Amino acid sequence: MTTKAISTKYCIPPARSSLVFRPRLIERLNEGLYRKLTVISASAGFGKTTLASGWVANCDRPVAWLSMDEGDDDPVCFWTALITAPT
């Protein structure tokens, strides 16, 4: 993994100005604040990143962001990146 690849993994995409507000999904994410883990799962293009970045922009808690790709299938690299993700 290169330094550039590592630094971009932690960049939260900016919330879009044309964001479609999804109150039900935002409510579900807020409920997840009181759980150990929340997973956002859907097929490509269904708005997972848009939803998460919009929610993070309005969240008053520290957030660690880690973008994943096909090169993250090595458990050591994955856990190292996750544990060292800045908040």
- Report the alpha-carbon distance of residue 87 to residue 79 in Å, rounded: 16
Across 28-55, average pLDDT: 91
Q: Which pLDDT belongs to residue 4?
A: 47
Residue 31 has φ and ψ, to the nearest 5°, of: -65, -30
Residue with tokens 């929340």: 38
Number of domains in the chain: 1
Q: Name the more confident of 83 and 72.
A: 83
No. of H helices and E strands in the chain?
A: 4, 0
C-beta separation of 30 from 38 below 8 A:
no
Across 47-72, average pLDDT: 87
Across 17-25, average pLDDT: 84
C-beta separation of 50 from 21 below 8 A:
no
Instruction: Give the residue numbers spanning the domain of 30.
Output: 3-83
